[in-house]
Chain A
Amino acid sequence: MTFANGDSTVHFPAGSDRASPARFDVRAFARTAKGNHRETLRLDEFTTEPLSGDSIRAVRYLARLESGTMEQLRNLLVTATHKDARITAFLVTWAFEKFWVADALDAVLEANGQPKSHDSTEGLARRSRVESVERRGPVLRAITGLIQGVPIIGVHVTSGLVDEWITRAAYNRLETASANPALSSAIATVLAVKARHVAFFDHEARERLADDPRAVSLTRRSLERQVWPLGAIDRSDDDRSFFTSFVFGGDDGHERAAEIGRRVAELPGMDSRVGDAVTRKLCA
């Protein structure tokens, strides 16, 4: 417990998190979190200009991914990541904002005469031996987390960053494919919310990878075998295949995947081997 001397220069609660100015301000982020978007969505327009079947499917898939925060939190919190109060403070607001992103996507589905993402039946998950390691439950994650210690935080924030790049590519692709002004507007809202998540993960990832060889080696291994986007492991096999071909299929899609791979390769301690592995996974 810190009892500062009683002078009047109180550093807190001005709102900063008492860190270097370049550091992402978690308290300011929490203070300005974005909740319910329904008021600003142009839902009526879908009556005259409904989405195509593929666009609806992509929206539903993205809604399911965005709402999978508790699964992700679990995987993070059973490791040393839960010790970092700044990260957990970020994650609390991140989960809140993603809840409302998923709700916005659900609103789009409803405006197109569809049930909410969680109210429609989902097919069976993919069962692949290669992915079994990513399917590991909290016990194994906690045990490996014990061995990996604090450097695991580097893995988590870097995966968060790459995941943001991937979902952003998906939203952009969806926007182009649907050519629907109301959906474009909804996507702009969603991407504005997610921009701050990218900023946090970006800063954290570069900082943690820059000065920790152990974090680098754990992250390299993890990125190479990760199933993308995060949370896809729990989604249906059919929907995953659809998503892969919708976003990363064809020449344009391959280029999108390659671009993400290049950005991965440029991260501290990463190289084209890791970047190419991510690209391959995205197209597979």
Chain B
Amino acid sequence: MAFDVDKYTATSVSVNWADLDLERFREHPLPAGSLRTLRYMADVEYHTVCYTRDLLTTPSHKEADMSAFMTMWNREEFWHGEALATVLGIHGIIVDFDEIKADRLKLGWKDKLDPIKQSIAGKLVGTDFVAVHMAWGAANEWSAITAYNRMAELEEDPVLAELLKRIAKQEARHVAFYTSQARDRLSKSRKAQVLARFALKNFWAPVGSSIMDRTEVVHVMGHLMGGPEGRKGARKIDAAISGLPGMEGLTIVEDSLNKLGVPA
């Protein structure tokens, strides 16, 4: 079913947590390992606008629907960052913009060269490149939903679970956008399928890999996708990706977990 952008923009809101008793964390703090995972998630959410950059360097942004979606999507993700930062704040972990800036400044040359590489690839490949972005985005958003739901399940804290479920619910609409775009664009072009498959198979890594230290990636993946239950979630993401035209049989999430040494 086609994604209704007008309906999405009309109903896009910042995630609400005013009715949740986050103060209870002062009495019942979350364990350090969980806070570490939440911190990773907050950083990734705040970083969304930088991922937007990669989308914008290719022809995709020239369409009004795409612009509208990206505007709302960016804002929702920013508020996910704010929600998680609030939980962290109650635990005495301060996430402020100046610190995020310091982290971004450490990213170095790869980060600086990325927009150039993206733009050149986008120019060479043309509109089929948009399909690659959409498939990539779908994989990332599926991962986000799985991660949030899994964390809600693991934590067994009713307030955190509710907040994470609200976030995951918004991510589900992002998935709907990316998959409807990816399906549409991939089904129309064999070349787009070949490119997307190649890019996902060779370059995809768990969300956050490009901005966080490897030790943090390993921690978060081990926490949320390790063990038999975690792996089950990972396989679900792979199955969803495999359902996109031309992506049959891809196991990029499991492969990346194996590469990171995350126990099955």
**A26-B97 contact given A13-B85, A88-B50, A96-B75, CB 8 Å threshold:** yes
Chain B positions within 8 Å of A8 at CB level: 26
Q: Nearest Cβ in chain A — how far from B105, in angstroms?
A: 5
B214 at the interface (CB under 8 A from A): no
Main secondary structure, interface of A, reads helix
Partner of A70, one of B56, B98, B99: B56
Chain B positions within 8 Å of A6 at CB level: 91-92
Chain A positions within 8 Å of B85 at CB level: 12-13
Question: What per-residue 1/0 map shows which CB atoms of A7-46 lie under 8 Å from chain B?
Answer: 1101111000111000000110010010010000000000
A4 touches B78 (CB 8 A): no
B264 at the interface (CB under 8 A from A): no
B20 at the interface (CB under 8 A from A): no
* CB closest chain-A residue, reference B120: A139
B68 at the interface (CB under 8 A from A): yes
Give the contact-size bracket for chain B: 35 or more
CA distance A1 to B107 in the complex (A): 15
Partner of A88, one of B49, B56, B79, B93: B49
**A27-B93 contact given A67-B64, A84-B101, A138-B57, CB 8 Å threshold:** no
Q: Nearest Cβ in chain B — how far from A209, in angstroms?
A: 19
Q: Nearest Cβ in chain A — how far from B121, in angstroms?
A: 11
A4 touches B101 (CB 8 A): no
Chain B positions within 8 Å of A33 at CB level: 14, 75
A residues 58-104 near B (Cβ < 8 Å) are 67, 69-71, 73-74, 77-78, 82-86, 88-89, 91-93, 95-96, 99
A53 at the interface (CB under 8 A from B): no
B residues 103-159 near A (Cβ < 8 Å) are 104-105, 107, 112, 115-116, 118-120, 123
Chain B positions within 8 Å of A27 at CB level: 82
Chain A positions within 8 Å of B112 at CB level: 142, 146
* CB closest chain-B residue, reference A91: B49
* CB closest chain-A residue, reference B107: A83
CA distance A26 to B61 in the complex (A): 26
Q: Nearest Cβ in chain B — how far from A238, in angstroms?
A: 20
**A137-B61 contact given A36-B10, A70-B67, A95-B71, CB 8 Å threshold:** no
B93 touches A13 (CB 8 A): no
B34 at the interface (CB under 8 A from A): no
Chain A positions within 8 Å of B120 at CB level: 139
Chain A positions within 8 Å of B9 at CB level: 99
Chain B positions within 8 Å of A12 at CB level: 85-86, 89, 94-96
B92 touches A10 (CB 8 A): yes
B residues 25-68 near A (Cβ < 8 Å) are 26, 36, 39, 46, 49-50, 52-53, 56-57, 61, 64, 66-68
**A70-B70 contact given A12-B95, A27-B82, CB 8 Å threshold:** yes
Q: Nearest Cβ in chain A — how far from B33, in angstroms?
A: 13
B194 at the interface (CB under 8 A from A): no
* CB closest chain-B residue, reference A137: B119
Q: Nearest Cβ in chain A — how far from B55, in angstroms?
A: 9
B199 at the interface (CB under 8 A from A): no
A89 touches B78 (CB 8 A): yes
A196 at the interface (CB under 8 A from B): no
Q: Nearest Cβ in chain A — how far from B180, in angstroms?
A: 19
CA distance A12 to B66 in the complex (A): 34
CA distance A88 to B53 in the complex (A): 11
A121 at the interface (CB under 8 A from B): no
Chain A positions within 8 Å of B91 at CB level: 6
CA distance A91 to B48 in the complex (A): 12
A48 at the interface (CB under 8 A from B): no
CA distance A95 to B9 in the complex (A): 13
Chain A positions within 8 Å of B53 at CB level: 73-74, 77-78, 82
**A142-B99 contact given A5-B92, A93-B75, CB 8 Å threshold:** no
A139 touches B116 (CB 8 A): yes
A132 at the interface (CB under 8 A from B): no
Partner of B116, one of A3, A30, A143: A143
A127 at the interface (CB under 8 A from B): no
Q: Nearest Cβ in chain B — how far from A47, in angstroms?
A: 24
A2 at the interface (CB under 8 A from B): yes
A118 at the interface (CB under 8 A from B): yes
- Residues of A near any B CB (own CB < 8 A): 1-8, 10-13, 17-19, 26-27, 30, 33, 36, 67, 69-71, 73-74, 77-78, 82-86, 88-89, 91-93, 95-96, 99, 118, 137-139, 142-143, 146
With A78-B116, A95-B74 known, 4 other A-B pairs at CB within 8 A are A30-B79, A74-B57, A83-B101, A89-B78
Question: What are 11 sample pairs from A and B whose C-beta atoms fall under 8 A apart?
Answer: A10-B94, A11-B89, A18-B94, A30-B82, A36-B10, A70-B66, A73-B52, A77-B53, A95-B75, A138-B56, A139-B123
Pick the 8 closest A-B CB pairs, nearest first: A74-B56, A77-B53, A85-B100, A12-B89, A86-B97, A13-B86, A85-B97, A78-B115
